[in-house]
Amino acid sequence: MENFLQSSLAAFKILQQTAPEIKAKLLNDIADAIDENKAAILSTASSESNLPEPRLEVERGRTCFQLRMMSAEIVNGNWLRKVVDVAIPDRTPFPKPEIRKMHVGIGPILVFGASNFPLAYSTIGGDSVSALAAGCPVIYKVHPSHPKTSHLINDLIQSAVKKNDLPEGTFIHYEAKDFDEVKQLVQHPIVKGVGFTGSYKGGMAIYKYAQERREPIPVFCEMGSVNPVMLLPEALKAKAEQWATNYCGSITNSVGQFCTNPGMLLAIKGPELDQFISSLTEQINKITAAPMLSQSIYDNYEHRKKEVLSQSNVTVVSDNITGQGTCGTPTIAKVEASDFINNSLLHEEVFGPFSIVVACDDEAQLAQAYDVLEGQLTTSIICESDDYALATSLMEKAMHKSGRVVFNGIPTGVEVTTAMVHGGPFPSSTDSRFTAVGIEAINRWTRPVSIQNCPLDLMPNALL
Amino acid sequence: MENFLQSSLAAFKILQQTAPEIKAKLLNDIADAIDENKAAILSTASSESNLPEPRLEVERGRTCFQLRMMSAEIVNGNWLRKVVDVAIPDRTPFPKPEIRKMHVGIGPILVFGASNFPLAYSTIGGDSVSALAAGCPVIYKVHPSHPKTSHLINDLIQSAVKKNDLPEGTFIHYEAKDFDEVKQLVQHPIVKGVGFTGSYKGGMAIYKYAQERREPIPVFCEMGSVNPVMLLPEALKAKAEQWATNYCGSITNSVGQFCTNPGMLLAIKGPELDQFISSLTEQINKITAAPMLSQSIYDNYEHRKKEVLSQSNVTVVSDNITGQGTCGTPTIAKVEASDFINNSLLHEEVFGPFSIVVACDDEAQLAQAYDVLEGQLTTSIICESDDYALATSLMEKAMHKSGRVVFNGIPTGVEVTTAMVHGGPFPSSTDSRFTAVGIEAINRWTRPVSIQNCPLDLMPNALL
């Protein structure tokens, strides 16, 4: 471990002095190699994750898109966030010096991939690519759910590193033996940042290891959330069927194994909600259950689902029975808001194709049911124009509880774009000031440095 | 405590919906009130801090400048860092939704002021003003070194809050009885961020309290540093006298009680360094010692100075004896780099008018002496054009060890400007990704939120 960490540190020093064009070419070369090795990557990832190849092909496209987007960002240099304050030599009482500012990488970054994204949030996923864009070497802890896929991708990365004459410590691919090794990595002085995507339990374990360090470092854990959806009265009246169809798709897509899966639907009681529930359950019942990512994810789904369903006054409204083996059976449950509000066990995520409908007496109770939730990656508001008064007050709450507020849409499908925030108030992430998706994901791994009164001959190229 | 924290939370909800013009006016009104009450503020602050009125008048000007600068920022809205990604309805395989992003405040911020800046980094100093600019109410923990000054400023703040019909929880002024109350505040769920300026010991105590919370929150502690200065050979040859004069001023200004005080001078042995040392000590000997901020700061200065001077092969080169009572006697010490490198006790800050000259055998040893230092707020490089080869390699190191790199100048005098970074790698701060000075100090207290597919009627004003 000490050897590869030292080589990572050595690589950091070199990468911080490497021309942007070369760092950009590295990412493009990796993307090209992933394109060229598409067939092998898809079949390997599919066999390890149970995800069908068409779904993985979308994810592969996203992975290459992220690599090329970050590559372009390295060259345009926006991420450096340069500022130049001109000197004012005759200012009184003291002259003002010239000060320029840019951002630099913080050091080697330890990345933990996600089981549900073997490509886009694993080996060369969002965390790794954003770190490399900042000139930070990556120490990637291989995810045990898809080691073969990871090795395949790592081979392509290592070839691209060699081809561009970059140091071998640029990307370290490491299979940790046990939690003790993970702890050693998180606590090692050479590691200057941690990126994690996964469960609350896993994220908080990493976070607590980091807290025992002498030197505090940024630890960005994206730990999922319930992603509540508020279906407002007029929208239910006008389009119950349409939203039932959209939400059935969002809940069951990839066996519900997305961090932004809508696990909770809040609405006001009445015949419209009854109609929505019957449309939704009818469609949920038609979905053929598919195998989940792993035995442990299946076990956890079954455990959490049973736990929620055993709470008082929680009823199952779907009767889908297509699941066998490790297939995750899509399930819709229902509970009265009064029971929901006082039972915090119902406020937490059930990772898988599960959603609970919270039936509220009125607008006030709907707001109250939303208020008891903790921080979320997303909140969705489904509304028609006659709902806007209610929507406005709920939106004010949602902006302070979530990383993203979605109107009249589904929360799954996280766009890789500059305006995206994938993260959110705790417990959806450990630092709501950053995003794991989009260009600004780089900001997690950079810090500003001011350069005062620097002779032009010594000025870093980026600041000239 | 519970009452005022609840009122702070209530204020947060209101401030997040308050028009920018009103928040801006609050800060301007406070600045105007500080101008109008100048005489009382200066005399009170001077009697509590031992700082002379002319020095405090500069600080008062800085305080008002910061208030008005942040006021302007609230109105121009740059801090919102808005991004709009347009929809692409006909994108395949899925349409791209419109996504807009803006920043919002994170919640009530707990601020700990600094004893050495009773105005600019205390009650309505940099941390408080940047929090208010983001619409975050402030809970200010009164600094025991200057309670009367703090109450005077707080009265002006409360009047301005009332005048602008803002909620009373906007600014809470609280004298904590003991450390236990401080701990309760840091750990309270309503508190969503902490700003601290002071010693390493104090900062880390606060930081550790925060680590015991269930919900992680941003804790930005600015904890000072040694601020090494590297005097390169040609600069010593050409301008030893001039730099001795400048550095004598920087070391002794305000009895050396600045976080950016240059506590260490690194240079290569030779007659030029001898001449620099003799010029510097000659001038240091002429300075009349002045009383330090408090008895405890004086005691700490004496303790740390004695500790450093008792290390093997450390010699005092100045013989200033003007100090009496709690006056901090300016002191210059000297040590060989070989002794310095292996003694970590010499690498740490002595808060006060003290600087140690590290005499190096050659360029390699100078770099080695710099390498053993931990993170710094500033690093200064004094050089002539014939030093540029050496300066380039030292600068690469300095950019990764410090928040600010100063060329041919002194590190004291932190400009309030956009390009300023006041912060730096640990232990100079707890999060090197942020600055405590300048517009971007606001970023510590904000988080991004994405709004997807929002009807224009519901769009927040800031995003229209």
| Digit-coded pLDDT (tens) for B37-93 | 999 999 999 999 999 999 999 999 999 999 999 999 999 999 999 999 999 999 988
Partners of B319 in the β-ladder: none
**pLDDT of res. B14:** 98
Task: Enter the tokens of residue B347.
Answer: 């690498």
Nearest by CB to A453, from B215, B396, B408: name it. B408
* Separation between Cα atoms, residue B201 and residue B422, nearest integer Å: 19
CA-nearest of B392, B404, B387, B357 to B232 is: B387
**pLDDT of res. A92:** 86
Residue in B with minimal Cα distance to A107: B400
Query: Which residues on chain A are in Cβ contact (under 8 Å) with B60?
Result: none
Q: Quick check: A215 and B427 CB within 8 A?
A: yes
Which positions ≥6 away from B133 have C-beta within 8 Å?
A: B23, B27, B70, B71, B73, B74, B79, B442
**pLDDT of res. A94:** 86
| Residue A431, pLDDT above cutoff 90 | yes
**Percent helix / strand / coil, chain A, rounded to 5:** 45, 20, 35
CA-nearest of B225, B268, B235, B228 to B371 is: B228
Residue in A with minimal Cα distance to B85: A419
Per-residue b or e along A303-328, where b marks 16 or more CB atoms closer than 10 Å to that residue's CB: ebbeebbeeeebeebbebeebeebbb
> What single letter denotes the amino acid at residue B125?
G
Partners of A332 in the β-ladder: A355
Task: Enter the tokens of residue A309.
Answer: 């369903």
CB A339 within 8 A of CB A365: no
Tens digit of pLDDT at every position of chain B (464 positions) = 999 999 999 999 999 999 999 999 999 999 999 999 999 999 999 999 999 999 999 999 999 999 999 999 999 999 999 999 999 999 988 899 999 999 999 999 999 999 999 999 999 999 999 999 999 999 999 999 999 999 999 999 999 999 999 999 999 999 999 999 999 999 999 999 999 999 999 999 999 999 999 999 999 999 999 999 999 999 999 999 999 999 999 999 999 999 999 999 999 999 999 999 999 999 999 999 999 999 999 999 999 999 999 999 999 999 999 989 999 999 999 999 999 999 999 999 999 999 999 999 999 999 999 999 999 999 999 999 999 999 999 999 999 999 999 999 999 999 999 999 999 999 999 999 999 999 999 999 999 999 999 999 999 999 99
CA-nearest of A305, A362, A347, A310 to A328 is: A305
CB A216 within 8 A of CB B426: yes
Residue in B with minimal Cα distance to A459: B392
CB A265 within 8 A of CB A355: yes
Whole-number percent of chain A with pLDDT over 90: 99
Task: Enter the tokens of residue B92.
Answer: 């395949």
Judged on CB neighbours under 10 Å (0-12, 13-18, 19+), A2 is exposed
Per-residue b or e along B324-347, where b marks 16 or more CB atoms closer than 10 Å to that residue's CB: eebbbbbbbbbbbbbebbebeebb
Nearest by CB to A451, from B405, B430, B457: name it. B405
Q: What is the pLDDT of residues A221-234, one digit of tens each?
A: 999 999 999 999 99
Query: CA torsion, points A310, A313, A314, A320, in degrees to nearest 10?
Result: 90
Average pLDDT of span A99-112: 98
How far B7 CA sits from the closest chain A CA (Å)? 18
Radius of gyration, CA atoms only, chain B:
24
CB B197 within 8 A of CB B117: yes
Residue in A with minimal Cα distance to B399: A449
Q: How many residues does chain A have?
A: 464
Partners of A228 in the β-ladder: A264
- Specify the residue for token string 């810090």: A447
pLDDT range class, residue A263, cuts 50, 70, 90: very high
Catalytic residue (choose from A136, A259, A360, A383): A259
Query: Which residues on chain A are in Cβ contact (under 8 Å) with B385?
Result: 455, 457
Average pLDDT of span A95-107: 97
Q: What is the pLDDT of residues A74-90, one digit of tens each?
A: 999 999 999 999 999 99
Nearest by CB to A388, from B399, B420, B457: name it. B457
Q: What ipTM is given for this predicted complex?
A: 0.96
- Specify the residue for token string 């199952």: A316
**What are phi and psi for residue B340, nearest 5 degrees?**
-65, -45
For an interface test with A, the pick among B130, B420, B450, B453 (most A C-beta atoms closer than 10 Å) comes out as B450
Task: Enter the tokens of residue A32.
Answer: 């090209």
Q: What is the pLDDT of residues A129-174, one digit of tens each?
A: 999 999 999 999 999 999 999 999 999 999 999 999 999 999 999 9
- How many CA atoms lie less than 13 Å away from A32 in the CB half-sphere? 10
CB A331 within 8 A of CB A318: yes
Which positions ≥6 away from B51 have C-beta within 8 Å?
A: B45, B59, B118, B254, B293
Which positions ≥6 away from B56 have C-beta within 8 Å?
A: B41, B42, B45, B46, B49, B118, B119
Does residue A362 come out as left (phi exceeding 0), alpha (psi in the -120 to 50 range) or beta?
Answer: beta
CB A160 within 8 A of CB A29: yes
Measured between alpha carbons, how far is residue A181 from residues A145, A175, A177 in Å? 18, 9, 6
Query: Which residues on chain B are in Cβ contact (under 8 Å) with A446?
Result: 433
Query: Which residues on chain B are in Cβ contact (under 8 Å) with A106?
Result: 432-433
Q: Quick check: A419 and B100 CB within 8 A?
A: yes
Query: CA torsion, points A308, A313, A319, A321, in degrees to nearest 10?
Result: 30
Catalytic residue (choose from B48, B59, B73, B222): B222
Radius of gyration, CA atoms only, chain A:
24
Q: Quick check: B449 and A395 CB within 8 A?
A: no
Query: Which residues on chain A are in Cβ contact (under 8 Å) with B440?
Result: 448
Query: Which residues on chain A are in Cβ contact (under 8 Å) with B435?
Result: 448
Average pLDDT of span A389-406: 98
Task: Enter the tokens of residue B374.
Answer: 């931990």
Measured between its terminal Cα atoms, the distance across chain A in Å is 39
Query: Which residues on chain A are in Cβ contact (under 8 Å) with B107?
Result: 400
For strand A109-112 and strand B264-268, is the pairing parallel, antiparallel, or unpaired?
unpaired
Q: DSSP class of residue A16?
A: T
Nearest by CB to B409, from A406, A427, A453: name it. A453
Bond into B271 cis (ω within 30): no
Q: What is the pLDDT of residues A58-74, one digit of tens each?
A: 999 999 999 999 999 99
Average pLDDT of span A359-371: 98
CB B14 within 8 A of CB B166: yes
Q: Quick check: A404 and B452 CB within 8 A?
A: yes
Nearest by CB to A419, from B85, B421, B443: name it. B85
Count CB atoms within 10 A of the CB of residue B457.
9
Chain centre distance of CA B333 = 26
**pLDDT of res. B92:** 86
Which positions ≥6 away from B284 have C-beta within 8 Å?
A: B248, B251, B252, B318, B320, B330, B331, B332
Q: Give the helix ranges, DSSP H, for A134-196.
A: 147-163, 179-187
3-state secondary structure of A170: helix
CB A448 within 8 A of CB A461: no
Q: Measured over all CA atoms, what is the biggest interatomic distance in chain B, rounded to whole angstroms?
A: 80
Nearest by CB to B413, from A17, A94, A418: name it. A94
CA torsion through residues B29, B30, B35, B40, sign: positive
Catalytic residue status for B415: no
Cα three-residue angle B157-B163-B166, rounded to 5 degrees: 80
Catalytic residue status for B222: yes
Q: Quick check: B83 and A211 CB within 8 A?
A: no
| Residue A93, pLDDT above cutoff 90 | no
CA torsion through residues B266, B269, B270, B276, sign: positive
Average pLDDT of span A8-37: 98
For strand A83-85 and strand A99-105, is the pairing parallel, antiparallel, or unpaired?
antiparallel
3-state secondary structure of B219: strand
Q: Quick check: B419 and A17 CB within 8 A?
A: no
Measured between its terminal Cα atoms, the distance across chain B in Å is 39
CA-nearest of B232, B224, B235, B191 to B363 is: B232
- How many CA atoms lie less than 13 Å away from B32 in the CB half-sphere? 10
CA torsion through residues A241, A246, A252, A256, sign: negative
How far B134 CA sits from the closest chain A CA (Å)? 13
Q: DSSP class of residue A169?
A: G
Judged on CB neighbours under 10 Å (0-12, 13-18, 19+), B45 is buried
CB B144 within 8 A of CB B116: no
Where do the DSSP E strands lie in A254-353?
264-268, 290-291, 315-316, 327-328, 331-336
**pLDDT of res. A323:** 85
